[in-house]
Chain A
Amino acid sequence: SAVISQKPSRDICQRGTSLTIQCQVDSQVTMMFWYRQQPGQSLTLIATANQGSEATYESGFVIDKFPISRPNLTFSTLTVSNMSPEDSSIYLCSVGRRARDTQYFGPGTRLTVL
């Protein structure tokens, strides 16, 4: 199994600002994923972050709004840019060797935008 930490655990931000969320894993992993979970809803995949290449974004998510970095096999960041109240959500990272293997989730970052 993998142990994953996220920072910050929660934040309250003003409209128009940006927030960078960090995801740290205790071992090297091939695939890292970023999800958004709105209150009472399912998990929606934002993007897949692979080391050494650009992130692959899902429909409805764009790099200008959610830039992602993956500088090495244990770390990734997700930035939520030019925030609006609609971005209020929980953001989770997960890791796995492959998509079909067990994915382990970080504790999440609870974001509130005023």
Chain B
Amino acid sequence: QQPVQSPQAVILREGEDAVINCSSSKALYSVHWYRQKHGEAPVFLMILLKGGEQKGHEKISASFNEKKQQSSLYLTASQLSYSGTYFCGTEIPDKLIFGTGTRLQVFP
């Protein structure tokens, strides 16, 4: 039931791009993306709703394929501040189920 994220870990140089994928075995009402830095609480990045509506961070983009029950987060021109663990959260009625997580490290 827990969404599966890929890759598990990514290492980047500043300025490089990355894609993080989230796949669910259940029909999705919406997909949320959060970033968590070590020792801190998760921070909201983006929500993608059925029908194409998106809410979130101006510098981050994402896609939501309702039929395939998948979402992807696109990080372009990465910065050192992008380092952290990224979680997708898939909505099933009245709650979010978080994915397995992707650890992203950006080096100078």
The residues of A with any CB-CB pair to B shorter than 8 Å are: 31, 33, 35, 41-45, 48, 56, 58, 92, 98-108
Contact = CB atoms under 8 A, between A and B. Distances in A.
A104 B95 contact: no
A99 B94 contact: yes
Nearest to A1: B44
B95 A103 contact: no
Given A42-B99, A42-B100, A42-B101, A99 B41 contact: no
A41 B101 CA distance: 8
Chain B: number of interface residues, binned into ranges: 20 to 34
A111 B68 CA distance: 38
Given A33-B95, A42-B98, A45-B96, A100 B30 contact: yes
B96 A105 contact: no
18 contacts: A33-B96, A35-B98, A42-B87, A42-B99, A42-B100, A45-B95, A45-B96, A48-B94, A48-B95, A92-B41, A92-B42, A99-B93, A101-B47, A102-B32, A103-B44, A105-B41, A106-B41, A107-B40
By DSSP majority rule, is chain B's interface helix, strand, loop, or mixed?
strand
Interface of B: 2, 29-30, 32, 40-44, 47, 49, 55, 87, 89, 91, 93-101
A106 B36 CA distance: 12
B98 A105 contact: no
Contact of A99 (B43, B55, B96, B99): B96
B5 to A, nearest CB: 9
